[in-house]
Amino acid sequence: SKEWLDSVTFYSSVFHDLIGGGYLSPESKSLCVETPTGRDVFALREIGVKNAVGISKKSVKPLVKSGTGERIPFGDGYFDFVFSGEGSFARSAKPAV
């Protein structure tokens, strides 16, 4: 849909700026938290961050695995970059940053 594509374009712009600022790189292991559609994960992959995955209550393969901000299904320290477009870190019992 146009809305989905507009969101991907927006996220791509944000992530591109983060790469320019040195906060993110194409080699980063990246996690998008609480991403029900995977738009942010798709945007990361589109700009060259290939090791990107999302988590949400319901998985949307291949972009999003089942998980929540409170129950991240990966080990501590696994990710170099963590993004939450829905503000879920405010609810997390174990913040990633």
**Percent of the chain with pLDDT strictly greater than 90:** 73
Angle subtended at Cα 11 by Cα 4 and Cα 45, rounded to the nearest 5 degrees: 90
Residue 64's identity, in one-letter code, is V
* Cα–Cα distances in angstroms (integers) from residue 76 to residues 28, 43, 47, 55, 89, in the given order: 15, 24, 26, 15, 15
Total length of the chain: 97
CB atoms within 10 A of CB 11: 22
Residues 2-47: tens digit of each pLDDT: 998 999 999 999 999 999 999 999 999 999 999 989 999 999 999 9
Average pLDDT of the residues of the chain: 89
Does 93 score more than 90 pLDDT? no
Residues 38-79: tens digit of each pLDDT: 999 999 999 999 999 999 999 989 999 999 888 899 999 999
Interaxial angle between packed helices 39-46 and 2-20, expressed in degrees from 0 to 180 and rounded to the nearest 10: 50
Residue 82, classed as helix, strand or coil, is: strand
pTM as predicted: 0.84
